[in-house]
A = this chain, B = another copy of it.
Amino acid sequence: MSGWALHPQLRDDSHPVAMLALCEVRLMDDANYPWLILVPRIIDAVELTDLPGTEQAQLLTEIGTASRALQAQFRPHKLNIAMLGNMVRQLHVHVIARFLDDPAWPMPVWGRAAAVPYSAAAATTRCSDLLARLLP
């Protein structure tokens, strides 16, 4: 995986949470929703089908890990899982905890409410809490 680098837009929009076997897990800097992104450390991957089968299976495992971490910590009404890549082509998976009273419900989150950045202290706490659930 030498030579892989996180896309600067993804880096700037999020906080580091954990390194899993395949993915870098980051917390999106938007306190409107508990929102993780998983970024496989595979050079030039854009579509899911760009990943070899073993990495696809590992990605599925890590989506499950992220899903269970958000479910355990936040008890969401629903999870939203998405691979879009319209803005940033580097393959990344959104795993978002959704609630009946969140600012975009029932629509998807993109292009709805303006992002609400975390305070430094809140980001640190949230990332630390999620890390403990991702890598218990």
Contacts and interface: CB of A to CB of B under 8 A. Distances in A.
Copies in the complex: 2
A102 to B, nearest CB: 10
Given A49-B68, A108-B110, A81 B82 contact: yes
Given A79-B83, A80-B86, 11 more contacts: A47-B78, A47-B79, A48-B79, A49-B71, A56-B60, A78-B84, A78-B86, A82-B83, A86-B106, A87-B106, A108-B110
29 contacts: A46-B78, A47-B67, A47-B71, A47-B78, A47-B79, A48-B64, A48-B81, A49-B64, A49-B67, A49-B71, A56-B60, A56-B64, A57-B60, A60-B60, A78-B84, A78-B85, A78-B89, A79-B85, A80-B82, A80-B84, A81-B82, A82-B83, A82-B84, A82-B108, A86-B98, A86-B105, A86-B106, A87-B106, A107-B110
